[in-house]
Amino acid sequence: MKVQVVKVGGQVAEDPVQLQALLKGFAAMEGPKVLVHGGGREATALAGKLGIPVQMVEGRRITDAATLEVVTMVYAGLVNKRLVAQLQALGVNAIGLCGADGALVRSHKRPPVNGIDYGFVGDVDGVNADLLASLLSSGFVPVVSPLTYDGKGSLLNTNADTIASTVATALAGQFDVTLTFCFDLEGVLDASGTVIPQIDAASFETLKTTGALTGGILPKITNALAAVKAGVGAVRIAKYDLKNPGTLIQ
């Protein structure tokens, strides 16, 4: 059985027009599927309204106790349930989950890295693929928020791209899985703005070394390559409307 995992985040999740296009494309996908989402910008906005300082290091959020409360409200509440409601309106039998639901995504608290304590941030240990398989076989479409569970009663803030990659990898043990990372561009672009049709591990190193690729696209490609190496059948980075092939990671 084929299963499609789609990850949406950043600008797309917060732009009503782009998000509606993504959800329509996702709803039109035939067969079992999973949606993984982020929501960092909305978490930042709510933290600002509540007077909670936002601390970022190389694009990663420092998550203290107050910030964990904010991201829990935003990720597992506002963003997740809004997506579920919109998908239901499109005829998709969506069910919203975070890592604690059914112990879906287990993780451990990240230790300090180079002297930086990231706080309540989780690094994934495993995914309950049997739970996902059961939901998919029952006709549900899981919508997964970027919060994981440490097995000791605590939630941890976890990178959504990483969750998408590990969810796809876990399902690849039982299904033929494809993974698509959606954002606001047609695919991975080179320095001239042209879509790069394919990227493998060797070409990725070259693109980084020459400076053709920099910034936030790097961890996305790193996660995509990890998924391919772990057995995911096909990984793409593509535009939110899901109409074009984008960039194939292999």
CATH code for the domain of 156: 3.40.1160.10
Window from 108-112, 132-136, 238-242 with minimum mean pLDDT: 238-242
pLDDT at residue 109, rounded to an integer: 97
Average pLDDT over residues 43-65: 91
pLDDT of residue 206: 92
Is residue 104 very low, low, confident or very high in pLDDT (cuts 50, 70, 90)?
A: very high
Per-residue pLDDT of 123-173, as tens digits, reads: 999 999 999 999 999 999 999 999 999 999 999 999 999 999 999 999 999
% of the chain at pLDDT higher than 70: 100
Domains identified in the chain, total number = 1
Average pLDDT, the chain: 93
Q: Give residues with Cβ within 8 angstroms of 227, minimum separation 6.
A: 165, 168, 169, 179, 235, 249
Q: Which domain holds residue 186?
A: 2-249
pTM given for the model: 0.93
Is it the case that residue 46 has pLDDT exceeding 80? Answer: yes
Among 8-22, 68-82, 123-137, the minimum mean pLDDT is found in: 8-22
- Pairing type for strands 234-239 and 176-183 reads parallel
CA distance 31 to 23: 15
Say if residues 163 and 143 touch (Cβ distance below 8 Å): no
